[in-house]
């Protein structure tokens, strides 16, 4: 298990790197971005995972996410994985932006031909954390997770399934109930098959219905997001949290859309909130 | 003189817009980005101009510049023009990243075939400010200017030629002496011809030698910038300012390169510095 450094660039008093490694889960090379603030020799830093949305790679948030100043201020590393396996050998649906490459939906696919490479759940939950722990100055006892849209779905489901690992979960305009909306129904039917019982592990609302809990959840959702009504349906998460007593903070942000113009606006706020958990201040 | 709104997006407590208008100077449609923080009805805001570098459009800084939070905090509008005329009718050197489209060098070209459209000096100095004054809630008595690389050259030369108009001038890794470096020599020879006397109006060092002065100049330059030695030669500006008593602040930033990872690191600091001049705090 070795990683290749593609680029390392000084930014905001730290190092913004892009790295590649051979993944056994996906059977491909996988690329990720990591920002590591300057730190003392031997010091390890808490980490915030950021899972990206449909069509994105590691690069979108790295270029547009405006996270480095806040991460440097709070001494937090920031890891941004890719959203799917890549490469000529990986099956794809090239005419569909919401399925195949760029649209892994953070599941371990079970249906042919997707099951061989599309194993983003295990990649994000297990393989990549082991790489990070080995190669970077990270304190793996201090992890939090966030994400955008499909990546907000990833952050919520991975966070809820591994509540003890992540001190806090946040999301920007997440898909909260993929089983109930077109993006999720399309992807799950093809990656996971028709048995909706299997889908429940990948649906934040179903996980909560089935008993998953977390005490630190923060959501920001723009009211002018074109996907809010059909694909995101934030109200379902509000209802599920109310019914189960999960003290989630769900904020509707007036006039904001689904883009990085929205994400970047609230990124520093999310990082500060995670930092309080990661540094034992809350 | 009307402008077309291409996009307007809510971000950081303001509106990030992209606009287009028919330019009489360039004889083309010109696109620019403008961020306007929320403000009271009837209120006008100071403005910071940002001139971009080689190969860029308005979009690079809009996506990667990390200026909106600071502009919103300080109540300053931010205008980012394009770097050259565009369109099928505009002559170009498609195999050269440092000449033609994306490389207007903020000059009024005098040589055929460039002179018809490549009039970025007059566009930035005269035409676009008139558009902005008419269409946006800007206090044109409170202007400052900044830029990156070729745009740093633009900010310095436009600022020095119009010292009374701009309260402060800053730049990120600027070309300070285009007459002495390959990028500038190539562009000036083809846009302006062989008479080096004509070049002096477009060379910050020559302008200072010829008497131009400004009391508020701030430069940030990365020490790991690959272009520093051959194309930027920051020491020439340091020397010219020392010799003439211009109190420029020129900071060499250890380990930073030429990219937006560098620019974004110091953007908020530049905006805060400009804000002190624009709001009469210095």
Q: Is A73 on the interface with B (CB under 8 A)?
A: no
Residue-wise pLDDT tens digits, A59-108: 999 999 999 999 999 999 999 999 999 999 999 999 999 999 999 999 99
Mean pLDDT, residues B57-68: 98
* Phi and psi angles of residue A127, each rounded to the nearest 5 degrees, phi first: -70, -50
Q: Is the pLDDT of residue B202 over 90?
A: yes
On the CB side of A150, CA atoms within 13 Å amount to 28
Q: A194 catalytic, yes or no?
A: no
Q: Is the pLDDT of residue A2 over 90?
A: no
Q: State how far the alpha carbon of B83 is from the alpha carbons of B76, B101, B152, B184, in Å.
A: 22, 8, 12, 15
State whether residue B189 is helix, strand or coil. helix
- Give the helix ranges, DSSP H, for chain A: 59-64, 68-74, 120-122, 128-135, 150-161, 182-192, 196-199, 204-209, 234-244, 260-278
Of B16, B261, B265, the CB nearest to A261: B16
Q: A258 catalytic, yes or no?
A: yes
Q: A149 catalytic, yes or no?
A: yes
Percent of chain B predicted with pLDDT > 90: 99
∠ Cα B271 B81 A61 (to 5°): 65
Read off the pLDDT band of A1 (50, 70, 90).
Answer: low
Q: Is A15 on the interface with B (CB under 8 A)?
A: no
User: Cβ contact (<8 Å) for B63 and A260?
Assistant: yes
B1 exposure class (CB count in 10 Å sphere: 0-12, 13-18, 19+): exposed
Q: State how far the alpha carbon of B126 is from the alpha carbons of A32, A77, B119, B235, in Å.
A: 45, 46, 11, 31
Of B64, B256, B265, the CB nearest to A64: B64
B73 near B79, Cβ under 8 Å?
no
Read off the pLDDT band of A282 (50, 70, 90).
Answer: confident
A19 near A34, Cβ under 8 Å?
yes
Residue-wise pLDDT tens digits, B157-201: 999 999 999 999 999 999 999 999 999 999 999 999 999 999 999
CA A244 to chain CA centroid, Å, is 24
Q: Which of A64, A66, A269 to mutate to test the interface with B (most CBs of B within 10 A)?
A: A66
Pairing verdict, β B45-51 and B138-147:
parallel
pLDDT, averaged across chain B: 98
**Cβ-Cβ contacts under 8 Å, A224 against chain B:** 10
Q: Is A8 on the interface with B (CB under 8 A)?
A: no
User: Cβ contact (<8 Å) for A224 and B10?
Assistant: yes
A205 near A176, Cβ under 8 Å?
yes
Compute the 3-state secondary structure of chain A and give helix, strand, coil in percent, each to the nearest 5. Answer: 35, 25, 40
Sign of CA dihedral A198, A201, A202, A203: positive
Q: What would the two tokens of residue A111 be?
A: 């249906």
DSSP A84-122: S--STTS---TT-TTSBTTB-TT-B--STTTTTT-BHHH
Q: Is the pLDDT of residue B69 over 90?
A: yes
**Cβ-Cβ contacts under 8 Å, B10 against chain A:** 222, 224, 255-257, 261-262, 265
CA distance A73 to chain B (A): 12
Residue-wise pLDDT tens digits, A114-137: 999 999 999 999 999 999 999 999
- Domain-wise residue ranges, chain A: 3-277
Q: Is the pLDDT of residue A248 over 80?
A: yes
Residues 6+ apart with CB under 8 A from B11: A256, A261, A262, A264, A265, B35, B68
CB pairs under 8 A between A and B: 61
| Residue B102: count of CB within 10 angstroms of its CB | 20
Q: Is A179 on the interface with B (CB under 8 A)?
A: no
Residues 6+ apart with CB under 8 A from B48: B71, B76, B77, B78, B79, B143, B144, B145, B146, B271, B274, B278
Name the residue in chain A with its Cα closest to that of B65: A64
Tell me, what's the pLDDT at B1? 60
Tell me, what's the pLDDT at B282? 85
Q: Is A256 on the interface with B (CB under 8 A)?
A: yes
Of B10, B66, B257, the CB nearest to A256: B10
Rounded CA separation A150/A173 (Å):
9
Catalytically annotated residue among B84, B149, B168, B170:
B149
Rounded CA separation B27/B50 (Å):
22
Tell me, what's the pLDDT at B116? 98
Q: Is the peptide bond before A148 cis (omega within 30 degrees of 0)?
A: no
Q: What would the two tokens of residue A186 be?
A: 């399309």
A36 exposure class (CB count in 10 Å sphere: 0-12, 13-18, 19+): buried
Ramachandran assignment for B173, one of left (phi > 0), alpha (psi -120 to 50 degrees), beta (any other):
left
Rounded CA separation B9/B26 (Å):
27
DSSP-derived letter for residue A137 is: -
Q: Is the pLDDT of residue B6 over 70?
A: yes
What architecture (CATH level 2) is domain B3-278?
A: 3-Layer(aba) Sandwich (3.40)
Strand partners, B81: B32
Q: Is B252 on the interface with A (CB under 8 A)?
A: no
Read off the pLDDT band of A232 (50, 70, 90).
Answer: very high
Closest CA to A272 of A47, A79, A70, A11: A70
CA A188 to chain CA centroid, Å, is 17
The CATH classification number of A3-277 equals 3.40.50.1820
Of B10, B63, B259, the CB nearest to A257: B10
Number of H helices, E strands in chain A: 10, 9
* Phi and psi angles of residue A137, each rounded to the nearest 5 degrees, phi first: -80, 65
User: Cβ contact (<8 Å) for A66 and B69?
Assistant: yes
**Cβ-Cβ contacts under 8 Å, A68 against chain B:** 264-265
Rounded CA separation A83/B170 (Å):
39
Compute the 3-state secondary structure of chain B and give helix, strand, coil in percent, each to the nearest 5. Answer: 35, 25, 40
A137 exposure class (CB count in 10 Å sphere: 0-12, 13-18, 19+): middle
Q: Is B236 on the interface with A (CB under 8 A)?
A: no
Q: What would the two tokens of residue B282 be?
A: 């210095």
Q: Is B66 on the interface with A (CB under 8 A)?
A: yes
B246 near B176, Cβ under 8 Å?
no
């Amino acid at each position: 298990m070795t990683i290749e450094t593609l680029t390392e660039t000084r930014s905001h008093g730290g190092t913004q790197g892009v790295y590649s490694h051979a993944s056994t889960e996906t059977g491909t090379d996988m690329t990720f971005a990591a920002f590591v603030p300057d730190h003392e020799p031997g010091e390890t830093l808490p980490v915030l995972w950021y899972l990206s949305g449909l069509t994105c790679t590691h690069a979108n948030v790295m270029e547009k996410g405006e996270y480095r100043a806040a991460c440097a201020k709070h001494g937090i590393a920031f890891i941004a994985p890719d959203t799917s396996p890549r490469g000529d050998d990986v099956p794809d649906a090239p005419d569909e932006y919401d399925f195949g490459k760029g649209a892994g939906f953070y599941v371990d696919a079970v249906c042919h031909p997707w099951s061989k490479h599309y194993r983003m759940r295990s990649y994000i939950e297990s393989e990549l954390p082991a790489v990070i722990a080995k190669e970077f100055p990270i304190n793996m006892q201090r992890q939090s997770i966030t994400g955008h849209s499909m990546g907000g779905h990833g952050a919520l489901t991975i966070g809820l399934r591994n509540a003890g690992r992540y001190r806090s979960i946040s999301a920007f305009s997440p898909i909260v109930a993929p089983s109930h909306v077109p993006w999720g129904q399309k992807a799950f039917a093809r990656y996971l098959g028709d048995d909706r019982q299997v889908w429940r592990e990948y649906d934040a609302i179903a996980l909560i219905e089935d008993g998953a809990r977390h005490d630190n959840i923060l959501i920001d959702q723009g009211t002018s997001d074109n996907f809010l009504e059909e694909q995101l349906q934030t109200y379902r998460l509000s209802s599920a949290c109310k019914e189960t007593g999960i003290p989630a903070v769900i904020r509707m942000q007036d006039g904001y859309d689904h883009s990085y113009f929205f994400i970047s606006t609230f990124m520093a706020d999310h990082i500060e909130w995670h930092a309080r958990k990661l540094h034992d201040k809350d």
